[in-house]
């Protein structure tokens, strides 16, 4: 098999990151779901865990005068050749999506939700397939319970747009970033519930560095508190964790029901039922195309393969 140039592989990983970033702009669509879909979920969890712990140890050991060797071990354990292009792609997509996708979502909410619903529905095959083998009755119950939690979460009323203090921005970011790394839970939808979706998009578009800095600090703290537990679960309870993720993704479809009021209340299908079904099918077809393309490109070594999470630094 011919070895593909690393630049081509890097561009492919950046495109994966852009797909994740665009997903984070759409309320109800989880970036974690797209990371699962394109085969980089474990790699991102691994990298995020090492980065969060490396930053925490840099601060803690620096203050205590213990040096930076422990932090450096975590930083060296990050697979930068995969994580960096994905991260750059995510940032570019978030900036572009805030300017381009947000107005589209506002003007065509029913159609946008329909495409997104098809995308998420088709994506269910990814974690379900990763579970492997036949689900037990207990696992089905666990999955349905997780779906119920997601339905309850996405049924919460949306708050009016807020003008938050920076400490509130950090707290909301810590919560939203946990959703980013958990498939089936949408960080942008949580911001919508908190009334901070529009202010956050405005901060991105206006390059409000104070707001964005507070958001970044909260995101780092949230990663540090949440990712380690998720890494442990993926290493030690992987099957049931994937079952729960599948259930969360299934329940998140409640947020993407095409016909809703501005407050998020579910409405009966309307006259555009046929068009909506077509848009759902298009969303599903896109996902199936991504799955096929990702498999083909990975087979030809044009994309980085899935990497299993490694909670411990290689030389710690």
Instruction: Tell me the average pLDDT across 279-308.
Output: 72
Query: What is the structure's pLDDT at 299?
Result: 66
Instruction: Tell me the average pLDDT across 253-258.
Output: 88
pLDDT tens for each residue of 66-95? 888 888 888 888 888 888 999 899 989 888
Query: What is the structure's pLDDT at 5?
Result: 63
Evaluate whether 184 touches 249 at the Cβ level (below 8 Å). Answer: yes
Instruction: Tell me the average pLDDT across 124-144.
Output: 88
Please calculate the CA angle 91-38-15 and round it to the nearest 5 degrees.
40
Whether 306 shows a pLDDT value over 70: the answer reads no
Most confident of 92-96, 125-129, 155-159: 92-96
| Mean pLDDT, all residues of the chain | 82
Q: Which residue has the tokens 């994740």?
A: 20
Whether 178 shows a pLDDT value over 80: the answer reads no
Q: How many CB atoms lie within 10 A of CB 208?
A: 15
Whether the predicted model's global pTM rises above the 0.85 cut: no
- Structural domain spans, the chain: 6-299
pLDDT greater at residue 25 or residue 299: 25
């Amino acid at each position: 098999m011919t070895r593909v140039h690393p630049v081509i592989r890097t561009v492919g990983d950046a495109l994966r990151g852009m797909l994740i970033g665009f997903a984070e702009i759409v309320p109800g669509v989880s970036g974690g779901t797209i990371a699962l879909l394109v085969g980089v979920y474990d790699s991102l969890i691994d990298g995020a865990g090492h980065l969060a712990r490396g930053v925490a140890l840099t601060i803690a050991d620096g203050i205590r005068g213990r040096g930076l060797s422990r932090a450096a071990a975590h930083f060296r354990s990050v697979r930068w050749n995969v994580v960096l292009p994905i991260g750059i792609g995510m940032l570019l997509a978030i900036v572009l999506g805030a300017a381009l996708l947000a107005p589209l979502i506002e003007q065509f909410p029913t159609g946008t939700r329909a495409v997104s619903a098809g995308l998420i529905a088709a994506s269910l095959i990814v974690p379900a397939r990763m579970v492997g083998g036949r689900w037990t009755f207990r696992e089905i119950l666990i999955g349905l319970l997780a779906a119920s939690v997601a339905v309850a979460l996405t049924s919460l009323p949306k708050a009016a747009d807020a003008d938050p203090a920076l400490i509130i921005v950090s707290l909301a970011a810590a919560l939203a970033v946990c959703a980013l790394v958990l498939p089936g839970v949408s960080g942008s939808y949580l911001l919508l519930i908190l009334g901070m979706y529009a202010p956050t998009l405005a901060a991105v578009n206006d390059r409000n560095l104070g707001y964005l800095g507070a958001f970044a600090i909260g995101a780092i703290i949230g990663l540090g508190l949440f990712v380690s537990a998720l890494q442990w679960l993926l290493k030690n309870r992987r099957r049931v964790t994937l079952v729960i993720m599948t259930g969360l993704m299934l329940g998140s479809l409640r947020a993407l029901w095409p016909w809703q009021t501005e407050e998020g209340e579910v409405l009966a299908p309307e006259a555009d039922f046929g068009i909506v079904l077509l848009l759902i099918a298009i969303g599903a077809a896109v996902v199936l195309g991504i799955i096929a393309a990702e498999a083909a490109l990975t087979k030809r070594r044009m994309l980085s393969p899935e990497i299993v999470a490694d909670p411990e630094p290689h030389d710690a």
